[in-house]
Amino acid sequence: MPEEAVHIISSGTVRCARLLSEDGTVVVFKGQMADPTTQIAFRKIWSRHFSLNILDALDLDPADNIREFLTIKEGDFVSVGEQIAKREGRRKLSVTAKASGRFLGISANRLIFESDPVDIESRVAGFPGVVTDIVNNRGAYLETSGSYIKGLWGNGKCGQGILLSIDMEKNNGIFDLDSISVDLAGAVVFANTCTDANVLKTAAKMTPGGLIFGSLPSYLLPVAVSLPFPIIVTDWIGTGKISNPVHLTLGENIIKFAYLYSDNSASGKLIRPEIIIPQDEYIPEKENPLNHLGIGSQVRIIEGFYGGELGIVVDILPGNDENSDNTEIAPDQVKICIDEETYVTLPKNNVEVINLKS
């Protein structure tokens, strides 16, 4: 069905839905700050199932109740080498996992395991914002202040970068080989259209943050889909100029940070791509040590004797304030445990919080 009518917000509250096409699992809460990569909701399946016969390994009779010999419960995850079942008594026997997986249940005296979970549908935030509403089992609404354009077609990729424009006076604003320069690297660039597949492929070498076109001929869409960066068409499939409202909105936000969101993962449903340009400069939460540092944070020491070492913050020591007797204001300090025997105290600014992805 057609989407709702609001397609352009030149400046104001931007509210974006991140909803699954069907019921799934929502993993954010109301009021949560979301990064562009924060997962909002997903639908998951376990894509591979395999069975294991433990009767022979435990020398059991088919009439035996194999549940009595299991050391795992339904729903447990087992890793390679982990014990699954054992037999006590004179002949002690045990069975260990030869592959990792989740124990699903028993069928015909065989243990059924499942592995390789895949998201059949997933929604990420795509821009920094606050979760303002949760839709049960479907996803959430996120909000920020800034500009917003709902496009027509996207190549299914998300990305971001400083928003730039090509010279619209030159060559009718068509994105061509002359438009490709080092400035394109990491930037989101908008143009009226592009008519040459080679230009798009060449642009990919500069690793742009994304491209926005007013229109794009249908024969270029497969090329656009194959490229690793986001491409959004705002107005029309074909060849023509970018529409005035879109041009104005983008033009007012030159050199601001723009987020391109395009998601084609929903089963058969067309989801319009979005361009979100938050009003304020965004500092990713996870990269801002001042906001996030606390006891237990994992940090990297930036410089000095222990420069490069990783450690855990065990204490935060407040610095002197202006009323103290010291003439110099000492900054906040942090006490860091590098290993069992090594503790160092350093200025808070000399460490950075790191988030190792598990």
Partner 1 sequence: MLYVDIGSVNTRVCLFDRMDDQYSFIGAASATTSGDITNQFEYLNVIQAVEKLEHATKRKILDRNQNIVMPATFDHSGIDQVAVSYTCIPDPRIAVMGLTHAGSLQNVYDLLSKVGVKPVAEICAEDGKTVCENLDLFLHTAPRIVIVSGGTEQGAEIGIYRLGEILMLACRSLPKEQRPIILYAGNSAAKKQMERVFSQITDISFSTNVLESGSGVQPTLNGLINVLRKDLESRAPGFRILREKTKCSVIPGEFAFGRTIRLMSRLIRQNRHILGIDIGAHQTILADAVNLALSLHTLPLGIGNNIGNLLNEYTPSDLQSWISFQIKSAEIQDYILNKSYYPDLIPANKYSAEIELALARAIVMKGIENESLSAMLSDGSLAMVFLSGAVLRNVEDPGEALMFAMDSLAPVGMVDYLLDMNGLSGGIGTLAHLNPVLASQIMSTSAYLNLGKVIRPSVRGEPPGKSIMTVSVRDDAGNTRKYDIPFNRIYRIPLEYGKNYELEWTKISHNVTVPGVKTWAPAGFKSGCFGLVFDTREEKDGKIKLPKEKAARDKKLQSWRTELGPWLVKQEEESHA
Q: Using CB under 8 A as the criterion, which residues of the chain lie in contact with partner 1 when the complex forms?
A: 1-5, 17, 19, 22-25, 43-51, 74-75, 104-105, 107-108, 110, 112, 114, 120, 133, 135, 137-138, 141, 152-153, 217-219, 221, 236-238, 268, 270, 272
- The span from the CA of 208 to the CA of 270, in Å, is 25
Q: Check: CB of residue 43 under 8 Å from CB of residue 25.
A: yes
**75 vs 308, beta carbon nearer partner 1:** 75
CB of 219 to partner 1, least distance (A): 6
CB of 284 to partner 1, least distance (A): 29
β-pair type (139-150, 83-87): unpaired
**25 vs 342, beta carbon nearer partner 1:** 25
Single out the residue of 355, 176, 357, 147 nearest to residue 258, CA to CA.
147
CB of 46 to partner 1, least distance (A): 5
**176 vs 235, beta carbon nearer partner 1:** 235
CB of 199 to partner 1, least distance (A): 17
Helices and strands (H and E) in the chain: how many: 4, 23
Q: Check: CB of residue 104 under 8 Å from CB of residue 112.
A: yes
**46 vs 171, beta carbon nearer partner 1:** 46
CB of 179 to partner 1, least distance (A): 23
Single out the residue of 106, 130, 112 nearest to residue 31, CA to CA.
130
CB of 67 to partner 1, least distance (A): 15
Stated as kind and residue range, the H or E segment containing 244 is helix 244-251
**180 vs 233, beta carbon nearer partner 1:** 233
The Cβ-side half-sphere exposure at 341, using a 13 Å CA radius, reads 0
**271 vs 346, beta carbon nearer partner 1:** 271
- The span from the CA of 212 to the CA of 260, in Å, is 9
